[in-house]
Chain A
């Protein structure tokens, strides 16, 4: 079957088998291997991408179900050479060790901060439930999100000052 979807702003049309999962479409057909593939049963969260702006686990979504929709993957976070603040936060606070869980964590944490720019530790931990870090680096991941939230708040305040009369 033919499927057309927009991934990170670019429209792609491909002939695929109907049963193909979104995670395999992204990795094997489009070559976007930033999205990882782990448990295959919707539990570990390494495969999280955004579908029309909402995080979903791409190992239990068919590529066909994403047809006509907008997908954003970890490759779509940075703008050129400039990292998204959440990526920078993970870099600053050692939010990754082996990096296997990182793409899913980044997509989930970016979505969290977009809807709640000042989350509590509890809210961060709740948001990353369903995301497993096998290196168990949860404390640094929480710190990375807190760093990003603080950094984005400071950046927004500076911007406001700059436009104030």
Chain B
């Protein structure tokens, strides 16, 4: 969609260039998909040429500009990565352009890259206007529907996924009104080699909720953890009512607990 108010595109963008009215540009699939009358300049991060995936001793670093197609291609051997890519309900024409970072920053409840990075104890690497970096847990990056911890002039540079959680056993459940519908609930359980387990609730809720258990939890412990999400914390839109999302969250959490217990 032609964004009529945009007067300039800066490509590639660099830290420090942001000013009010600017928007960082990833793949543009969300940004250029609807009117944005307040945007006057686009700062193109996709042209920065960052390597999409960098393997490190302690895990992998996914550049914010890595596309969904590149992620599926390079890390799809991990079932949870591929499952989350497929939870991105778009054809490969969109996968070829949409970025992992754009998915986190758009902060839609049904953002599967938010689910993935929160469930795998990811860390978001943010770059400020002075070029300085700060790191925040991916689980806390999205603060609500469409909102993140990003400050003015700050952009998401990368997501670091530690190798332990990336290699751990996971259980995945997704629910939506239609098989090909937008995720109304997306839960990921993770069993760690030390006996601990985590349960990540996304899509159903306005922001990710990650529950950690030091040992495999009982059904009552899982129920009690989910009770801490208030009903106002569930999303209310055409893709599902809060009570239904809460019900599905509990249902899938029970299934995940059972799956990881064996």
Contacts and interface: CB of A to CB of B under 8 A. Distances in A.
Given A41-B34, A62-B28, A55 B92 contact: yes
Most buried by A among B7, B9, B94: B9
Interface string A119-151: 000000011011100000000000000000000
A86 to B, nearest CB: 16
A62 B9 contact: yes
A55 B94 CA distance: 9
Nearest to B96: A54
Contacts of A20: 2
A61 B96 CA distance: 11
A1 B9 contact: yes
A26 B72 CA distance: 30
B258 interface: no
Interface in A38-76: 40-42, 45, 48, 51, 54-57, 59-62, 64-65, 67
Contacts of A159: none
A64 B93 contact: no
Given A54-B69, A60-B33, A61-B97, A18 B8 contact: yes
B148 interface: no
B96 A56 contact: yes
Interface in B17-65: 25, 27-29, 32-34, 42, 44, 46-47
Interface in B179-195: 180
Given A61-B28, A62-B42, A56 B93 contact: yes
DSSP majority for the A interface? mixed
Given A45-B93, A54-B96, A56-B96, A18 B7 contact: yes
B6 A65 contact: no
A64 B97 contact: no
B58 to A, nearest CB: 31
Nearest to B31: A60
B33 A41 contact: yes
A102 interface: no
A130 B92 CA distance: 9
A65 B47 contact: yes
Which bracket fits the contact residues of B?
A: 20 to 34
Contact of A48 (B3, B93, B180): B93
Contacts of A64: 9, 11, 44
A65 B92 contact: no
A131 B91 CA distance: 9
A108 B4 CA distance: 29
Given A56-B97, A60-B33, A64-B9, A45 B91 contact: yes
Given A21-B2, A57-B97, A130-B90, A65 B11 contact: yes
A129 B6 contact: no
Contact of B91 (A18, A60, A129): A129
Nearest to A20: B2
A24 interface: yes
Contacts of A62: 9, 25, 28, 32, 42, 44
8 contacts: A19-B2, A41-B1, A57-B29, A57-B93, A57-B94, A61-B97, A62-B9, A62-B28
The 6 closest A-B pairs by CB, nearest first: A130-B91, A18-B9, A19-B6, A60-B32, A54-B96, A40-B1
